[in-house]
């Protein structure tokens, strides 16, 4: 068991090391450094602070050598320790590609062929994927429970007999009633979602505009975004009011407890939609259309179609969280560009890794609500494995975003360092398998995306 844990640590460290090389190689700083060092394997000339590109190039090659040795040691331990053939196969693929990566790096340095640079990055990502797959499959074997009994067709728990009367307020003062009502309507808007989704839109705007980003565009887009998120949350509360009563986590929501009548909530949601579209329309037509699409997708497609009917609800539903990236880009450009799509792709891939942790923590609640969430219908072992899959995919998406933009070292270091913390939390989740560990992984995923988006904004505005 101790040897398996050692192998897990080595495997995680190797995956992080390879990712660091990939994300660093994808930044504009490394591209400049290649031109500063056209010899191989060593760079000619002294390293000075006046020539940082040469220092970066040497550091990149030394890191590549160190990661290569780590990978070699990891594979050696894995071939002796791992019992699953697919784990060994993934390890062998990763280590076999490493010499190819080195050779391509040598050609990039000496020949400066653009096509080879793309191949160099692609092989690096393939190596990273190989080690991530090996880690996911090894953790599944090391920590999985073969005796799990997933629920193939979850049935909602019986509706609690609470009556249809609103919560009594006669004993409250006028001030308390007013503040309580305002607070209830504010809660309908799901304010906890606003900061992250607005940060996604801000990153899209910063990528598109750079230092020329206008304050008016920011205020109108984020204002419309807050109102659109509020409208989506309100409609979600209305449509899930009966299910909310069955779940401990949601049983105290304003509509489920009759503090706000359904008709009033619907009118509030419609007003929020109208206000959001007015603000988006002042930016441009495309931003307005995408804002309306986001509201309809979350309120109708996700809430009514995906969430109650398919285990892939979280995966497909990730499009709702990805749309603010396109809204932010479109607010500046009036079109949908490739970097905006890449940012949306990062959000889309991050969503399952983020939400599956929450689904593990609230597994019993989702089963009571009749939702076919991954932990309920596929089991916790399968869910934890898919968290590793999507975490790896998120990091690959972040690397692709770096290749399509001029984001610098702040973005690269943030993605690698906070991504490592996220991976550590996921490994702890596999081993501890507790509600506390699930929440830890959930918060780590929030920290990863939040800090990554801040790095995008800062890097873009500083260019």
Nearest to 425 by CA among 376, 337, 357: 357
Residue 221 lies in a domain: yes
- For residue range 151-180, what is the model confidence (pLDDT) as tens digits? 766 767 676 665 545 555 556 678 778 888
**Do 243 and 384 lie in a common domain?**
yes
pLDDT at 433: 92
pLDDT at 127: 95
**Do 99 and 189 lie in a common domain?**
no
- For residue range 242-300, what is the model confidence (pLDDT) as tens digits? 998 888 888 889 999 999 999 999 999 999 999 999 999 999 999 999 999 999 999 99
Helix (H, G, I), strand (E, B) or coil at 190: coil
pLDDT at 65: 87
Residue with tokens 């040598």: 106
Residue 148 lies in a domain: no
**Do 179 and 127 lie in a common domain?**
no
**Do 286 and 204 lie in a common domain?**
yes
Q: Among 92, 124, 143, where does a domain finish?
A: 143
Residue 307 lies in a domain: yes
Q: Among 90, 124, 143, where does a domain finish?
A: 143
What domain count does the chain have? 2
pLDDT at 51: 57
What is the rounded distance in angstroms from the CA atom of residue 329 to the CA atom of residue 405? 13
**Do 309 and 371 lie in a common domain?**
yes
CA distances from 215 to 246, 251, 411 (A): 45, 40, 23
Residue 320 lies in a domain: yes
Nearest to 131 by CA among 396, 358, 351: 396
**Do 207 and 349 lie in a common domain?**
yes
Cα angle: 215, vertex 221, 223; to 5 degrees: 95
Residue 157 lies in a domain: no
Q: Which DSSP string do the residues of 218-282 spell out, in sequence order?
A: HHHHHHHHHHHHHHHHHHHHHHTHHHHTT-TTTTTSTTTTTSS-HHHHHHHHHHHHHHHHHHHHH
**Do 93 and 188 lie in a common domain?**
no
What is the rounded distance in angstroms from the CA atom of residue 84 to the CA atom of residue 309? 34
**Do 179 and 314 lie in a common domain?**
yes
Helix (H, G, I), strand (E, B) or coil at 5: helix
Residue 48 lies in a domain: yes
Q: Among 143, 164, 188, where does a domain finish?
A: 143
**Do 317 and 388 lie in a common domain?**
yes
Q: Which two tokens stand for residue 297?
A: 């997708």
What is the rounded distance in angstroms from the CA atom of residue 18 to the CA atom of residue 75? 14
**Do 452 and 369 lie in a common domain?**
yes
User: What is the tally of helices (H) and strands (E) in the chain?
Assistant: 18, 0
What is the rounded distance in angstroms from the CA atom of residue 67 to the CA atom of residue 126? 15
Nearest to 384 by CA among 408, 412, 356: 356
Nearest to 30 by CA among 288, 411, 430, 408: 408
> Cβ–Cβ contacts within 10 Å for residue 413, how many?
15
What is the rounded distance in angstroms from the CA atom of residue 420 to the CA atom of residue 427? 11
**Do 123 and 58 lie in a common domain?**
yes
Which domain covers residue 309, as residue numbers?
Answer: 175-462
What is the rounded distance in angstroms from the CA atom of residue 363 to the CA atom of residue 366? 5
CATH at residue 287: 1.10.357.140
In the predicted model, residues of the chain with pLDDT beneath 50 are: 164
Residue 379 lies in a domain: yes
What is the rounded distance in angstroms from the CA atom of residue 307 to the CA atom of residue 330? 28
Cα distance between the two ends of the chain: 49
What is the rounded distance in angstroms from the CA atom of residue 278 to the CA atom of residue 20? 43
What is the rounded distance in angstroms from the CA atom of residue 349 to the CA atom of residue 322? 9
Residue 156 lies in a domain: no
**Cα–chain center distance at 417:** 15
**Do 45 and 131 lie in a common domain?**
yes
Cα radius of gyration (the chain): 25
Helix (H, G, I), strand (E, B) or coil at 328: helix
């Amino acid at each position: 068991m101790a040897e398996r844990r050692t192998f897990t640590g080595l495997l995680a460290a190797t995956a992080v090391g390879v990712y660091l090389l990939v994300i660093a190689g994808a930044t504009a700083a490394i591209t400049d450094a290649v031109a500063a060092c056209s010899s191989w394997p060593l760079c000619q000339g002294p390293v000075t602070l006046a020539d940082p590109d040469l220092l970066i190039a040497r550091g990149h090659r030394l890191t590549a050598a160190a990661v290569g040795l780590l990978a070699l040691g990891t594979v050696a331990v894995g071939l002796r320790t791992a019992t699953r053939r697919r784990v060994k196969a993934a390890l062998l693929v990763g280590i076999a590609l490493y010499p190819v990566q080195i050779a391509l790096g040598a050609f990039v340095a000496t020949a400066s062929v653009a096509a080879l640079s793309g191949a160099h990055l692609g092989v690096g990502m393939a190596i990273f994927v190989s080690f991530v797959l090996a880690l996911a499959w090894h953790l599944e074997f090391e920590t999985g429970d073969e005796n799990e009994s997933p629920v193939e067709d979850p049935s909602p728990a019986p509706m609690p007999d609470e009556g249809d009367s609103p919560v009594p307020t006669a004993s409250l003062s006028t001030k308390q009633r007013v503040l309580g009502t305002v607070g209830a309507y504010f809660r309908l808007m799901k304010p906890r979602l606003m900061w992250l989704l607005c940060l996604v839109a801000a990153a899209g705007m910063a990528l598109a505009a750079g230092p020329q980003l206008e304050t008016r565009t920011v205020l109108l887009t984020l204002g419309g975004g807050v109102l659109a998120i509020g409208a989506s949350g309100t409609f979600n509360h209305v449509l899930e009011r009966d299910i909310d009563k069955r779940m401990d986590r949601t049983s105290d929501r304003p509509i489920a407890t009759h503090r706000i009548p359904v008709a009033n909530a619907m009118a509030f949601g419609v007003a929020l939609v109208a206000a959001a579209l007015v603000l988006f329309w002042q930016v441009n037509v495309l931003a307005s259309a995408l804002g309306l699409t986001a509201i309809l997708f979350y309120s109708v497609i996700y809430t009514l179609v995906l969430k109650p009917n398919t285990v892939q609800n979280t995966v497909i539903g990730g499009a709702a969280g990805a749309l603010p990236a396109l809204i932010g880009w479109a607010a500046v450009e009036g079109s949908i560009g490739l970097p905006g799509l890449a940012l949306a792709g990062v959000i889309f891939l991050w969503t399952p890794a983020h939400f599956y942790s929450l689904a593990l923590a609230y597994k019993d609640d989702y089963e009571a609500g009749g939702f076919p969430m991954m932990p309920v219908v596929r089991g916790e072992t399968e869910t934890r494995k898919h968290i590793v899959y999507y975490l790896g995919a998120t990091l690959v998406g972040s690397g692709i975003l770096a290749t399509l933009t001029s984001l610098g070292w702040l973005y690269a270091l943030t993605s690698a360092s906070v991504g490592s913390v996220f991976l550590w939390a996921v490994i702890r989740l596999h081993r501890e398998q507790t509600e506390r560990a699930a929440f830890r992984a959930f918060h780590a995923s929030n920290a990863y995306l939040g800090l990554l988006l801040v790095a995008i904004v800062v890097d873009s505005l500083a260019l």
